[in-house]
Structure 1
Amino acid sequence: MFSYIAPVAPHPPRAMAETKLSIKLLVDKSANKVLFAEVGKDFVDFLFNLLATPLGTIVKLLTKKNMVGSVGNLYESVKNLSQSYIQPDQKKEYLLNPRALTCVAQVPLLLPNDVPDDTKDYYMCGNSYQHYYVTNTPGVSCPSCGCQMSRKMQYVESQRMTEDNTTGEKGGYVKGVVTYMVMDDLAVMPMSTISSITLLNKFNVKEVGNLEERVVDVGFNEGVALVKASLQSTTVLTDIFLGKMQL
């Protein structure tokens, strides 16, 4: 019986109901290594969404001590800097809790992307709707007519839930009509019998009896661990699910 102990990580925000995804691992017991994972659309969407996650959010999740390099020091510098040193039209929250502007897909298991309540406001010229300049500083002169740009624009959130009329699937990045294979280094490809056999040959697996299928749950803690491992390792799944990495 496979027993899995989740890495210790920050708890998800109370307001966010934790989502858990189940994935299947193919483990080489003799080498103590995950060869690949058999996953669905939801897990692939989560992995791909990491590319759209702002760096500030990643630093906040992992904390300074778990960051490689010096980016954690930048985050701490902004956090400790008095607001009096920040430009009047800027706020530290824009850097500490950045908004992922490019992410419009609805992705399960999203790591929290805290957005400041005081999102930037934008203004246009109040003299005419034909002037298309915008600014985040009310009162500046319009380049076209010189009038104050003081007409506040209404910000509209991106529609995060879309439906494909062909498949009936909602949101995300990839289609759910196939199963996907995620390698130990997080390379992703569609699953097929031929690709599985090819990989077994690549890994020089001689004894099929040494292979074991394990089903594990991926929740918030594992999601944070995946972020950390993806920045430090090329054996991500082995590090996390075979107990080689702890947060």
Structure 2
Amino acid sequence: MPLGTIVRLLGKQSQMGYLDEVYNSVEDLSSDYFQTKACKAMLLKPLNAASSHCHRLKINIDDTKPREVYVCKDTSCYAHCAFSSVPDTLCKCGKVMEYAGDRPENDAKTAAAGSDNGVFVIGSQKFITTDDLQIGNVKIKVLQTRINSAVLYAEVGHDFVDLVFGLLSVPLGCVTKALSQRLSKGCIDNLYRSIAGSAEGCMGPDYKRMLLAPELAPFFGSGASQILEAAESAPKKIKVDSRFSCFKIGGFSNLGRCREQAYRYNSSYGCNRHEFTYCQNTTKTAEICELDPKLHGVQNSNCDAYVKQGPQSFMVTDDLHVRPLTLDSSLRVVSEGKVQMKDLVEKEVALTKLQIMELQRAALMTCEALSSVLLPPKKKKKNLKHLMY
């Protein structure tokens, strides 16, 4: 399940570090800062690439609808045979795609998989579950205290914000795989190791790979997923039993309109003549291909980015809350931190891949994500009472 889905389903009280703040930041940020309006929807309600399997679970708490199909309803549009699974996606002609129904579930492999009484696990086996669930370089400016005790905020560009926001679309299994033993909070590490170890032989190899190295839904990849080396599923193709222009009008609920019978009044004979209203084009099937929701019409400078490129600077506080950088917001953070200006220092930092991965880990682990990565570790105070003996 994508991290953003977990945060949303838990009412932004997931206690997964400060991902809740990241999610709130996406909600609060105007759509103008994203490549497209659909990009914001992709982060707030990311799709699960394994949804066709997850919906067969006896308990499935994910309420996303990955089978929704949106198409351009303009029958004269030149961008033929394109669809999207994300609302507010722009067609190449510039119009917003509209809902055309839910695509039918026609994956024979998925249907056959349900015959063995399990989804991921083979057969009706029994298990023991213990109480702990065991089975690029980016440049930023940092405003911090002179004594290295805390980071107030970082002044960042769109590239850093995209790395933070993109984490919401990454499946939890990808993060666990990439960060390995560094996710010490909670029981997810134990659950992951159980699938990789003690659960050997209890599930098919395809399902095991799906859990240990889950893929992102098509076009949900970003700089964050690239850092974590998370793969992205191939775009879907759907075959419809209709001409595409008829499908635009009728959607999945009225695919038979190409072949329906009708009566027409023929004035030359003064009577009704029974005839078929066949479309002029004899082709009655179409294959529609999934369109990238991040595309803004036919122009797009960075197909992986959620956040729009530009000169706009953003403020990221220590708890990973993101907002546009303004003088007012800067002064407010300094005031809330109860720090005098003379005690502050600004530093420019070039983050390495390792630091970015540490920041991704910190986003799930601590309420001081920036400080934990950018400042030297705090020295533990010596126990004077112990030294007296």
Partner of 1:239: 372
Task: Answer yes or no: is the 8 Å Cα contact 1:27–1:213 preserved in 2.
Answer: yes
Task: Answer yes or no: is the 8 Å Cα contact 1:42–1:108 preserved in 2.
Answer: no
Task: State the aligned residue count.
Answer: 197
Partner of 2:324: 190
1:82-101 paired onto structure 2 within 5 Å:
84-87=201-204, 90-101=206-217
Structure 1 or 2, whichever has the larger Rg, is: 2
Deviation at 1:109, TM superposition (A): 7.7
Partner of 1:175: 308
Matched, 1:48 2:165: yes
| 103-112 vs 62-71, greater mean Cα deviation | 103-112
* C-alpha distance in 1 between matches for 2:167 and 2:214: 14
Correspondence for 1:32 among 149, 158, 165? 149
Matched, 1:209 2:209: no
The one-letter amino acid paired with 1:238 is S
* C-alpha distance in 1 between matches for 2:170 and 2:224: 14
* Percent of aligned pairs sharing the same letter: 27
Deviation at 1:155, TM superposition (A): 11
Task: Answer yes or no: is the 8 Å Cα contact 1:98–1:113 preserved in 2.
Answer: no
Q: Which runs of 5+ in 2 are unaligned?
A: 1-135, 243-251, 253-286, 379-389
Distance change >3 Å, CA 70–CA 82, structure 1 → 2: closer
* C-alpha distance in 2 between matches for 1:31 and 1:63: 29
* C-alpha distance in 2 between matches for 1:78 and 1:122: 31
SS at 1:92 equivalent: helix
Distance change >3 Å, CA 65–CA 185, structure 1 → 2: closer
Distance change >3 Å, CA 188–CA 210, structure 1 → 2: same
Instruction: Spell out, residue by residue over 1:116-143, the C-alpha distance to the aligned partner (whole angstroms, 9 max, x if none).
Output: 99x8x9998xxx947x8xxxxxxxxxxx
Partner of 1:15: none
Partner of 1:13: none
1:118-137 paired onto structure 2 within 5 Å:
129=241
Q: Which runs of 5+ in 1 are unaligned?
A: 1-18, 133-153
The one-letter amino acid paired with 2:334 is L
* C-alpha distance in 2 between matches for 1:164 and 1:183: 34
Deviation at 1:170, TM superposition (A): 2.7
Deviation at 1:42, TM superposition (A): 0.4
Matched, 1:66 2:183: yes
Q: How big is the alpha-carbon RMSD for the aligned residues of Structure 1 and Structure 2?
A: 3.5
Task: Answer yes or no: is the 8 Å Cα contact 1:26–1:212 preserved in 2.
Answer: yes
Distance change >3 Å, CA 70–CA 40, structure 1 → 2: same
